[in-house]
């Protein structure tokens, strides 16, 4: 029988997608499952964005477009990154529009990381963990070696400058940083980011001259803990070695539109974006053509809609934190950004469910909760680090579902023996 390529042997499927798909299948079968798995806002895309796409369709904007997006839309994204995020030295030529943030990340990593050779060790990818489940597989697929930097709930899942400095070697090629964080629901303060930046700038001048920061800021608009968002690329000394990844999926409730982008300033940025265009040209080429006017409307005209959704997420964050903290044995930091909470459930390891299932891991906990309480949560193992003691819950759902789901979760926990 013909074989599948060996590089796929080590590629694990996304745990979050797997749980979300399982919950959908059970609902399709008529089972009353409450899902806290997918990171997908329950809001509809704002009407002005939909109208812009409809009008583009009606006007016949249905043909091929430039690989990285039309000039006008790339310029609008650059305008936003300069004016709102404070990133200097950006023009539309420094922006690549891709089919979602995950695709932007994939293409960027392929352009930054070289696979190892017999006489050359692998490029190292520094990854604070727990981290989104796709960072490590996409880095490994590009040929990189993951160097985990462990964090803890006691420190709000944030690495220290000392940890970062200790992890950097001459082989360090990429640091992936995600703030606000999926799965942790926490974020770095501006002062904390500046402290990390000082380490990165110093290392770039001495130990690791090829080190590039990939800053995933997809949740930058969903913050509610009193912490200001700061883009790493806006910090002196990092602008010319930072790739900012973002998109419209989360803040604008546009998950199904598949709109992401990467941006990098300066001469390095121009070379990287050109390389991304070359690779993307052999893959997806441009995104859907009638999306471009919708992107421009979203970034220029929909702040009020984004703020309405942000306020709802803030209420939900407070509610789910209160409910989770009230469940025996579940401990978690207060969410400050994104729409996730990441409780430690290790207090229940060694217990059994009424149906006789043993709970010895987050996967055991998640599978039993789905089977016996009809509530879907994501097991934490694939997030790395201390995730082996946690589960992730997304609260991108109504307050009614949060209350109903936490009722079920509390009942399930109380039933453990």
CA–CA distance from 169 to each of 116, 118, 204, 343 (Å)?
Answer: 16, 20, 10, 33
Is 348 in contact with 378 (CB distance < 8 Å)? no
Give pLDDT tens digits along the chain (417 positions): 888 888 877 777 776 677 778 878 878 888 889 999 888 999 999 999 999 999 999 999 999 999 999 999 999 999 999 999 999 999 999 999 999 999 999 999 999 999 999 999 999 999 999 999 999 999 999 999 999 999 999 999 999 999 999 999 999 999 999 999 999 999 999 999 999 999 999 998 889 999 999 999 999 999 999 999 999 999 999 999 999 999 999 999 999 999 999 999 999 999 999 999 999 999 999 999 999 999 999 999 999 999 999 999 999 999 999 999 999 999 999 999 999 999 999 999 999 999 999 999 999 999 999 999 999 999 999 999 999 999 999 999 999 999 999 999 999 999 999
Amino acid 19: pLDDT: 74
Query: What domains are defined for the chain?
Result: 6-44+304-412 (3.90.1150.10), 63-301 (3.40.640.10)
347, 329 contact by CB (below 8 A) = yes
Residue 274 CB: number of other CB atoms within 10 A?
13
pLDDT at position 341: 98
The confidence score (pLDDT) of residue 385 equals: 97
Cα 323–chain centre separation: 24
d(CA 186, CA 93): 32
pTM of the prediction? 0.95
Q: What is the pLDDT of residue 262?
A: 98
CA 303 to chain centre: 21
The confidence score (pLDDT) of residue 4 equals 83
Which of left, alpha, beta for 280 (phi over 0: left; psi -120 to 50: alpha)? Answer: alpha
Q: 3-state SS of the chain?
A: CCCCCHHHCCCCCCHHHHHHHHHHHHHHCCCCCEECCCCCCCCCCCHHHHHHHHHHHHCCCCCCCCCCCCHHHHHHHHHHHHHCCCCCCCCHHHEEEECCHHHHHHHHHHHHCCCCECCECCCEEEEEECCCCCHHHHHHHCCCEEEEEECCHHHCCCCCHHHHHHHCCCCEEEEEEECCCCCCCCCCCHHHHHHHHHHHHHHHHCCCCCCEEEEECCCCCCECCCCCCCCHHHCCCCHHHEEEEEECCCCCCCHHHCCEEEECCHHHHHHHHHHHHHHHHCCCCCCCHHHHHHHHHHHHHCHHHHHHHHHHHHHHHHHHHHHHHCCCCCECCCCCECCEECCECHHHCCEECCCCCEECCHHHHHHHHHHHHCEECEECHHHCHHHHHEEEEECCCCHHHHHHHHHHHHHHHHHCC
Cβ–Cβ < 8 Å for 262, 273:
yes
pLDDT tens digit string along 193-248?
999 999 999 998 889 999 999 999 999 999 999 999 999 999 999 999 999 999 99
Question: How far apart (Å, rounded) are the C-alpha atoms in residues 415 and 255?
Answer: 36
- Output the pLDDT for position 3: 81
């Amino acid at each position: 029988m013909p074989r599948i390529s060996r590089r796929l042997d080590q590629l694990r499927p996304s745990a979050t997608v797997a749980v979300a798909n399982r919950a959908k299948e059970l609902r399709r079968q008529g089972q009353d499952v409450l899902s806290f798995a997918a990171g997908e806002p329950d809001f509809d895309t704002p009407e002005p964005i939909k109208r812009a796409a409809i009008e583009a369709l009606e006007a016949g904007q249905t043909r091929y477009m430039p690989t990285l997006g039309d000039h006008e839309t790339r310029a609008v994204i650059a305008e936003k990154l300069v004016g709102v995020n404070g990133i200097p030295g950006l023009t539309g030529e420094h922006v690549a529009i891709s089919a979602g943030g995950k695709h932007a990340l994939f293409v960027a990593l392929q352009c930054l990381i070289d696979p190892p050779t017999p006489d050359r060790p692998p490029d190292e990818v520094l990854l604070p963990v727990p981290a989104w489940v796709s960072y490590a597989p996409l880095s490994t697929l590009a040929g990189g070696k993951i160097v985990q930097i462990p964090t803890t709930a006691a420190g709000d899942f944030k690495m220290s400058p000392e940890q970062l400095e200790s992890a950097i070697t001459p082989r360090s090629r990429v640091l992936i940083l995600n703030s606000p964080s999926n799965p942790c629901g926490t974020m770095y303060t501006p002062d904390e980011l500046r402290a990390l930046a000082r380490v990165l700038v110093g290392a770039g001048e001495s130990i690791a001259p090829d080190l590039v920061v990939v800053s995933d800021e997809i949740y930058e608009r969903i913050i509610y803990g009193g912490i200001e968002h700061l883009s790493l690329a806006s910090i002196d000394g990092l602008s010319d070695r930072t790739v900012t990844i973002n998109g419209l999926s989360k803040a604008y409730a546009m998950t199904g539109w598949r709109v992401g982008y990467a941006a990098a300033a300066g001469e390095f940025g121009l070379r990287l974006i050109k390389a991304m265009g070359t690779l993307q040209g052999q893959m997806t080429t441009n995104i859907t053509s009638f999306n471009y006017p919708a992107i421009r409307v979203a970034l220029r005209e929909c702040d009020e809609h984004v703020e309405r959704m942000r306020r709802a997420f803030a209420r939900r964050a407070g509610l789910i934190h209160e409910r989770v903290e009230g469940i025996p044995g579940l401990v978690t930091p207060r969410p400050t950004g994104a729409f996730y909470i990441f409780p430690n459930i290790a207090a229940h390891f060694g217990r059994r469910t009424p149906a006789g299932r043993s709970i010895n891991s987050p996967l055991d906990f998640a599978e039993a909760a789905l089977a016996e309480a009809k509530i879907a949560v994501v097991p934490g193992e694939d997030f790395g680090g201390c995730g082996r003691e946690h589960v992730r819950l997304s609260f991108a759902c109504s307050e009614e579902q949060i209350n109903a789901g936490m009722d079920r979760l509390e009942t399930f926990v109380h039933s453990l023996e």
